């Protein structure tokens, strides 16, 4: 059985500067549970809107042997009350890929100062980037990544107000170029252009390969729903559609739920109408 634990600091631990990213690795080693963990989450390292998690990443790299038992790593595991996602200062993961050759799952939250570097890993099966806006540099790293074992990819697209610098063509180029022969789960989520992103994803070659299509957390409306109704019957390999948090009408939800696949359509939202303009927001931006 996998054993997991989250390591983080409370405000009263870091307010005077005594604790922070520079002390977390030592505190982690001092925890009696650490050696038995397979899943490790790093939460608030203290003033994470001002201090990068780079000392934590560097500490893992320099103590790679001590982390060799970790199979799942999440850096930035905190909610908005601790730090808004767009404020989390991330770091450079370029040295992590070689340091943890047995890692199978990596989740990163926050994209400010995030760099993935040259991504190459034999055993990584799951990569998730949770952010309010996905930078082009990160997209390029994923596009050129060598991850022969990758089965699950989730990318939060977010907003151009918080770091997304591209458009649908950026994501189309990503999907056309990236080479993940074992990919089973594709998530292009949390977009303010979710209908357009849906059209982009439906045209990619991975539609004939994956079993789970994740278009959740964005502004998916009946326009995107109609595209899904038309396209999904041609892809019998797809067993599940995750579109939770959406702007679909009740009628469109019923039509999608009638497809012969598993559907997740919870968290229906209603557009806001302000002075004649319709506004829809992705779930996670700031």
Helix pair angle (194-202, 222-231), 10° resolution: 10
Contact in structure between 47 and 23 (CB atoms under 8 Å): no
pTM over 0.95: yes
Per-residue pLDDT of the chain (286 residues; tens, 9 = 90+): 679 999 999 988 888 888 999 999 999 999 999 999 999 999 999 989 999 999 999 999 999 999 999 999 999 999 998 999 999 999 999 999 999 999 999 999 999 999 999 999 999 999 999 999 999 999 999 999 999 999 999 999 999 999 999 999 999 999 999 999 999 999 999 999 999 999 999 999 999 999 999 999 999 999 999 999 999 999 999 999 999 999 999 999 999 999 999 999 999 999 998 888 889 999 998 7
Cα(72)–Cα(80) distance, rounded to whole angstroms? 22
Residue 263 has phi, psi (to 5 degrees) of -125, 140
Report, at the CATH architecture level, how domain 4-218 is classified: Alpha-Beta Horseshoe (3.80)
Give every CB contact of residue 274 below 8 A, 6+ residues apart in sequence: none
Cα(225)–Cα(256) distance, rounded to whole angstroms? 7
Helix pair angle (168-177, 194-202), 10° resolution: 30
Look at residues 64, 140, 53, 134 and name the one whose alpha carbon lies nearest to residue 95: 64
Show me where the domains of the chain are located: 4-218
SS3 content of the chain, % helix, strand, coil (to 5): 30, 20, 45
């Amino acid at each position: 059985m996998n054993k997991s634990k989250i390591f983080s600091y409370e405000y009263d631990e870091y307010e005077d500067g005594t604790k922070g990213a520079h002390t977390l690795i030592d505190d982690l080693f001092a925890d009696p549970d650490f050696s038995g963990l397979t899943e490790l989450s790093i939460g608030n390292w203290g003033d994470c809107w001002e201090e990068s998690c780079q000392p934590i990443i560097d500490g893992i790299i320099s103590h790679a042997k001590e982390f060799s038992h970790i199979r799942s790593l999440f850096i930035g595991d905190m909610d908005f009350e601790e730090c808004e996602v767009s404020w989390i200062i991330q770091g450079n993961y370029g040295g992590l890929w070689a340091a943890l050759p047995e890692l199978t799952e990596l989740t990163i939250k926050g994209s400010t100062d995030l760099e993935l570097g040259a991504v190459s890993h034999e055993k990584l099966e799951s990569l998730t980037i949770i952010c309010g806006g996905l930078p082009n540099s990160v997209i390029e790293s994923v596009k050129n990544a060598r991850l022969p074992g990758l089965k699950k990819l989730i990318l939060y697209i977010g907003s151009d107000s918080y770091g997304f610098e591209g458009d649908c063509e950026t994501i189309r180029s990503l999907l056309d170029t990236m080479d993940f022969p074992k990919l089973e789960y594709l998530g292009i989520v949390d977009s303010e252009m979710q209908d357009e992103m849906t059209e982009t994803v439906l045209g990619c070659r991975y539609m004939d390969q994956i079993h789970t299509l994740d278009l959740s957390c964005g502004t998916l409306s009946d326009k995107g729903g109609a595209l899904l109704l038309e396209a999904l019957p041609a892809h019998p390999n797809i067993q599940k559609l995750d579109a939770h948090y959406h702007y679909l009408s009740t009628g469109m939800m019923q039509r999608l739920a009638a497809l012969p696949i598993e559907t997740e359509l919870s968290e229906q939202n209603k557009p806001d109408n302000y002075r004649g303009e319709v506004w829809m927001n992705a779930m996670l931006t700031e």
